Chains A and B, each alone.
Chain A
Amino acid sequence: FYLTPSQVNSILKANEYSFKVPEFDGKNVSSVLGFDSNQLPANAPIEDRRSAATCLQTRGMLLGVFDGHAGCACAQAVSERLFYYIAVSLLPHETLLEIENAVESGRALLPILQWHKHPNDYFSKEASKLYFNSLRTYWQELIDLNSGETTDVREALINAFKRLDNDISLEAQVGDPNSFLNYLVLRVAFSGATACVAHVDGIDLHIANTGDSRAMLGVQEEDGSWSAVNLSYDHNAQNEREVERVKMEHPKSEEKSLVKQDRLLGLLMPFRAFGDVKFKWSIELQKRVVESGPDQLNDNEYTKFIPPNYYTPPYLTAEPEVIHHKLRPQDKFLVLATDGLWETMHRQDVARIVGEYLTGVHHQQPIAVGGYKVTLGQMHGLLTERRARISSVFEDQNAATHLIRHAVGNNEFGTVDHERLSKMLSLPEELARMYRDDITIIVVQFNSHVIGAYQK
């Protein structure tokens, strides 16, 4: 039983999305040309989420991937909410006041974000009011705090991450009179999600990362070859600094039990995450909330289960590590992806595959005849060959899809093997998770001309 190439394509392309920054939007010429994103589920339903939006009241664009665990509730909530927290953190005082006044007097609100969403990416309608109120409380506090200083992007990112995680935690403790919402906020808090978010404004690229998703920059060297630059550190047991950090935060007596089998408390792979209140709340709080919570929660073995060796919570934080990078003309693209990709592909291969894909489609090195002696026949042959090369790449219109095709279908020689691809994609739901993880990818393409102009 095989999937035909077109069946394979329709599976791979089901969730692909592309956004091109408009050529002439009447505003600043953006350093971002556009982005491609895609998801391939292994879990049913998929636990990864992705978001992309343009900030409307400040400059810049936000892109992020979110990898959920113990369900998708937390990843879903973070994908809907985090960018609003970031955008609000970046807003100048006057704009915050304006927005607050508008809400106060029931006027129409300034739009804060323009989302770039695949039709399958949804927002929960039921929780929007609740989420909005929490966000409003946040900006009211920002207004009261008015430091008068201009907002630093790094701080804004850190504050937004921490604040949202805090709100998730608080909402779960307070609960909601509506039983559906009450259950929702608890599911959000008891599940978890990592987040890897990029903020691009001109040549300033900030990556805020919490957990084991990863951001990688694709750089084209002078000789045309491709190399990868990491713009995030994985927060997991493979990261020695991260292991050190966790150990520092807890008494020496816990040293042995903190990290077991490469997992936090022997349970959790990522060392930082949103939600996961089981690793954050005190035992008493957990018990109280679970007991007073709805039956579904109470009957759930996972939520009732207290991690072993749980002495000095919190063990987990949502605070991101932020890396700032000044974009250079040789920085051609950025890949944000959940660990599903990085488990199967080395970043160097990712850089090469995406780099070759993008240049193949968009700017294969132009031919110039110059002073050479070229005949019409030779030129025709050369052009035919180039077209053939492009058309093999052209199967995919989307760099993220192209990358997923390689991640899932690559054989030992590093080329896509249709047979293997077909097998991997036709695995039954219950088996799929054994062979691969959810994969979510965003490939952001930069405008080298604009970036070059910034430098002058």
Chain B
Amino acid sequence: AARMFLRLLSDIQWRAAHPKWRRMTSSQRSTSTTAEPHPVSLPAQAQVVICGGGIMGTSVAYHLSKMGWKDIVLLEQGRLAAGTTRFCAGIVSTARPVSIELKMAHYSNKLYQQLEQETGVQTGYMKTGSISLAQTQDRLISLKRIASSLNVMGIPCEIISPKKVLQLHPLINIHDLVGAMYVPEDALVSSANVSLALATAASRNGVQIHERTCVSHVTIQKGRVTGVETDRGRIQCEYFVNCAGQWAYELGHSGEETVHIPLHACEHFYLLTHPLKEPLSSSLPTIVDPDGRIYIRNWQGGILSGGFEKNPKPLFTEGRNQLEIQNLQEDWDHFGPLLGALLRRMPGLETLQIMQLVNCPESFTPDMRCIMGESPTARGYFVLAGMNSAGISYGGGAGKYLAEWIVNGYPSENVWPLDLKRFGTLQSSRTFLRHRVMEVMPLMCDLKVPRWDFQTGRQLRTSPLYDRLDAQGARWMEKHGFERVKYFVPPGSDLLDLDHSKTFYKPDWFDIVGSEVKCCKEAVCVIDMSSFTKFEISSTGDQALESLQYLFSNDLDVPVGHVVHTGMLNEKGGYENDCSIARLSKRSFFMISPTDQQVHCWTWLKNRLPDDSNLVLEDVTWKYTALNLIGPRAVDVLSELSYAPMTAEHFPSLFCKEMSVGYANGIRVMSITHTGEPGFVLYIPIEYALHVYNEVMNMGQKYGIRNAGYYALRSLRIEKFFAFWGQDLDAFTTPMECGREFQVKLDKGMEFLGQEALWEQKQNGVYKRFTMFILEDHDTDMDLWPWWGEPIFRNGRYVGKTTSSAYSYTLERHVCLGFVHHFDEKTGEELVVTTDFINQGEYEIDIAGQRFQAKAKLYPFSSLFTQRRRKDEVELSGYQRE
């Protein structure tokens, strides 16, 4: 095979780089018997330059060249597939909880399977299957949830008994198991060879590959990539792809224009053994034992076993670059607990001889999901890194999506959960990353229950009221670095500690949130919603209005003082953002978006607003504290504080007015609540926040005011069938598909983004429909709770997945929101979804394998709305916001 590489890649000889495991373990890289081959000089320009010759870089190159792009240069500082890719365990596993990750892994598996045939390079692909073990009932539930989503994807998968485990893998001790999940099509590969095969194919398609070439920095002019500087000269380029793995952060920081890529490496250990007396079969399934924190695969007749320990060792915090990762210390004491787990799982291995303990650093990200996409600050600067130790599983799919992104402007799937723009500069602190990855790495094996929160890297962004709320029993969660209240624990009541509160069933805060919801319904509650992204757009003339009319689907040419809910749509009519815009004056607008839109929305607008110095876009998120007064008595509280009548006649729904509250003047009051309940949001300049809060609480006392948190908000909005962007809505969902045609003004007299696509949908119908499900035979106390991502079945056939769920304290039922598709029974082709189709089905929701009957609704219960609404804005399925 080595000879073939020499022939295929004319650029530089990579010396017998056939990375068999054995070579790697013999630690000596063949140094210097042959003279260094003279490298071919770099081209002066290329369309795309990819930095990094690991699985990610080669996969991007492969897919770009497949899509017809040829003018591509791939640069690798050392040798191809010599970094983390060379050292990783080579397990291709599709059992992923996040749906987009599952799709990437599924695609990778299919790609690798045929890669040897396509390229002639041996990839060591072996379909062994994998078995994930459950030592506890909770673990089994989490496996069942994954099994449900694998099954509806058409990936074979079954929950099996411990006895069956023993049949599949004779070495396993099954006495402490309650069950397992078997995925027969999971595979093993030689990861370095997969990477080399991808490189070979890319090279055949014209991609130039240069090893031993180090990118020093990327040059960016006027917000666009113009080229890269390397130790062997400069290459001009339009696109740069940072696939530098654990060095991606540093590379992002090397140029004048910083690209923040929040990832951090941790040491990762696995063990290699000599073969067993009777060598293990190479088709023996891979074992994942998350409760023991280990994985075990067969390896050359022996085993390879590693894991994710509780006390990881972060490294390279100070950013030490190295050509290739070698000579990292083996640390047996550190590995001890994992070795213990291994021997508990396979006691028969006691006498097996150790070959080596490999220390292979892996990079981790702040939210355990990989990083993909274009930099918000530099157009043409793409990133694919931070694989959280699943690089081989994701490699194929991730490379495909990124290539599509570069070529088509957006991937063929919603990749928002992986988008680089979900992070800002605030997640880029080295200290933050170091602390956070120490939490993330053990989380790989921890049980992931609904609504878990990260514990590290907290209290970074806070409202000025943080201490006040905290003192009143607030429990916090974090979004985009901002602390937000989940609920308030009343004095004297005790909640479970963190570990014990983890559950798939009814949580301990059930009654607390219930009473907050009740107060919102019957009296008035105040929720601090300061985390929301707030922009102001203003101009000297009509530029602001004109630009916004183009970028937003609703009609923004409304009288001053009106608030408009509108989508910010892409060409395909999909939601890039969902926001509320208040017209402050003829020429200025105030825009409220979800918290995690801060970077994405800013970039979207910046890239599309005309370059006009008379048009100003400003991020004013930090300037205002937002207090949401929800409930029928909000009117009374506010009118007493402002001496202004606040009743619907004077202050109808969806209005915005600057007024005084208490001593503070200039408070922006909007009659929206993000829940469908009556009430107001107060946007308060931060220095008045404490004053206004105190006034509201004092005045509110006689109306029974209390603090509430986001869980109450969530329950309220879901029972009202309000979709939130980022949860229910994404770039692949149009207003037509979620019953929001009324927020689209196709005939507003001017062209807007997505108009054409929406016209077409209006005429031809939609292929999925946002639907509300009320669980019928679900016992809140006894049954598993829905979360999101549960498969929806119509007349016994899979039609889609839920996107969010909550318990409705009003309906005393669980409510799930989700999308219904119509797949042709024979061909599987997607058909138009009609109202009749929705209404005429019998529905079931699958929660971890158990199906519950559900009633589908396309409109919310009108009885839940008590407030009179403005005529032209009958909110049926409301608007965004998480």
Contacts and interface: CB of A to CB of B under 8 A. Distances in A.
Interface string B315-338: 000100000000001111101100
A377 B350 contact: yes
Given A379-B339, A383-B339, A367 B354 contact: no
B351 A24 contact: no
Contacts of A373: 353
Interface in A367-394: 367-369, 373-377, 379-380, 383-384, 386-387
B351 A386 contact: no
A383 B342 CA distance: 14
B203 interface: no
A374 B354 contact: yes
Contacts of B318: 24
A366 interface: yes
A364 interface: yes
B273 A376 contact: yes
Given A24-B318, A364-B333, A383-B332, A375 B356 contact: no
A375 B276 CA distance: 11
A360 to B, nearest CB: 11
Contacts of B352: 375-376
A373 B357 CA distance: 13
Given A369-B356, A377-B343, A383 B336 contact: yes
B447 interface: no
Contact of A376 (B330, B333, B339): B339
A377 B336 CA distance: 11
Interface in A347-379: 364, 366-369, 373-377, 379
B333 A387 contact: yes
A41 to B, nearest CB: 36
Contact of A366 (B273, B333, B343, B354): B333
Interface in B355-371: 355-357
A376 B271 CA distance: 10
A384 to B, nearest CB: 7
A369 B339 contact: no
Interface in B272-300: 273
B668 to A, nearest CB: 41
Contacts of B357: 369
Interface string B649-689: 00000000000000000000000000000000000000000
Contact of B343 (A24, A364, A376): A376
Contacts of A367: 332-333
A383 B273 CA distance: 17
Given A380-B340, A380-B343, A383-B339, A375 B333 contact: no
Contacts of A380: 336, 339-340, 343, 350
Contacts of B271: 376
B336 A387 contact: yes
B336 A376 contact: no
Contact of B332 (A24, A375, A377, A379): A379
B353 A366 contact: no
B336 A366 contact: no
Nearest to B335: A383
B339 A375 contact: no
Given A24-B318, A376-B342, A377-B351, A384 B330 contact: no
Contacts of A368: 330, 332
A387 B339 CA distance: 13
A369 B353 CA distance: 10
B214 interface: no
A387 B329 CA distance: 19
A379 B331 CA distance: 12
B349 interface: yes
Interface in B486-545: none
A375 B330 contact: no
Contacts of B340: 380, 383-384
B331 A376 contact: no
B333 A383 contact: yes
Contacts of B339: 376, 379-380, 383
Given A377-B350, A384-B340, 12 more contacts: A366-B329, A367-B332, A368-B330, A369-B330, A375-B350, A376-B273, A376-B352, A379-B339, A380-B343, A380-B350, A383-B335, A386-B333
Q: Which 7 A-B pairs have the closest CB atoms?
A: A377-B350, A383-B336, A367-B332, A374-B354, A375-B351, A376-B352, A369-B354
Interface of A: 24, 364, 366-369, 373-377, 379-380, 383-384, 386-387
15 contacts: A366-B329, A366-B332, A367-B333, A369-B355, A374-B354, A375-B350, A375-B352, A375-B354, A376-B273, A376-B342, A379-B339, A383-B336, A386-B333, A386-B336, A387-B333
